[in-house]
Structure 1
Amino acid sequence: MDFDQADAINQAIRRLSLRHRARVGELLAPLGLYPGQEALLLELARSGPMIQAALGAALGCEPPSVTQMSRKLEASGYVRRRPARGDKRASVVELTDSGAALVEQIRRLWRDLAEETVAGVAETSVTQLPALLNTLAGNVQRADRPAAQ
């Protein structure tokens, strides 16, 4: 691959990443959330209550980031944290009823954002897009770090 093609690929990925994150921030702001918090809530909705360490691994986040997000979401009433059975140093995080209701709003927002993002792209390409993006993410994953989901 020559530099011009490599540059075009890298710049397109960079632009998409920056614009997507900025758009996520715009859409989450009316809900009182910041980017990343929605991923934590969606993961809890998918997987159920989890210890913070497992939640961090699922999100590809460092433990202090998960702790900070969990505390903020707990203060807002969207999650509750409790000591894990058998290990009082570990905390289990779970959705509250208001957190579950917020997840439904996030899911609608997430569907709308995906539709906005792929507007004008052929349906066959849209169907293949998750696998392609996951392959790209795996290709840039360093061997010394756990894979982010």
Structure 2
Amino acid sequence: MIEDEIRELLDRISAEMRRDYAALLREFNLHVGQEQLLCRLWRSDGMTQIQLSESLNCEPPTITNMVKSLESHGFVVRKRDPEDGRVSRVYLTSAGRNLCEPVERIWNKQLDKLLTGILPEERLLLRRLMKQMADNLS
């Protein structure tokens, strides 16, 4: 059935991209998923862990573990919110900010590899279909 083939292709693409990302990110002491957390902070530094959890659609304990790991590598620091001491905010360090460009290069390299041989008009169709699939899951 075509549905089986689609599922298998989605699984294969996901697994291979994750494997490739893992290998490329390892050079920067990052694990898959941590670059997404950093990306959120590059756009909006000082987010709370709850905001990160909601933004990344991850459970709070997962975010806590990611933040601890990133903190241990010197990429982020946690600071108490000056207005609400119960809230912890996550801030990039200079080392964390310096990862933005290399991580974006990794993303672009992977996207170029993935889209090789796909014409511009096919990319537009692919984007529309993927957006529909993402919306179907929401």
Distance in 2 separating the partners of 1:46 and 1:131: 25
- Is 2:106 the partner of 1:95? no
The count of residues paired between Structure 1 and Structure 2 equals 138
Could you tell which deviates more after superposition, 92-101 or 77-86? 77-86
Distance in 1 separating the partners of 2:11 and 2:131: 16
Q: CA RMSD in A?
A: 1.4
Could you tell which deviates more after superposition, 68-77 or 132-141? 132-141
Shift of 1:128: 4.3
Q: Secondary structure at the match of 1:111?
A: helix
Match of 1:108 among 78, 100, 105: 105
TM-score, normalised on structure 2? Answer: 0.92
TM-score, normalised on structure 1? Answer: 0.85
Distance in 2 separating the partners of 1:73 and 1:14: 28
Unaligned runs of at least 5 residues, structure 2: none
- Is 2:25 the partner of 1:14? no
The 5 A counterparts of 1:57-72 are 57-72=54-69
Q: Secondary structure at the match of 1:88?
A: coil
Distance in 2 separating the partners of 1:88 and 1:110: 36
Check 1:102–1:135 CA distance in 2 against 1; reply closer, same or farther (3 A cut): same
Indicate the percent of aligned positions where both proteins have the same amino acid.
Answer: 34
Q: Secondary structure at the match of 1:87?
A: coil
The residue identity in structure 2 corresponding to 1:83 is R
| Equivalent position of 1:44 in the other structure | 41
Shift of 1:127: 3.8
- Is 2:81 the partner of 1:81? no
The residue identity in structure 1 corresponding to 2:20 is R
| Equivalent position of 2:53 in the other structure | 56
Unaligned runs of at least 5 residues, structure 1: 142-149
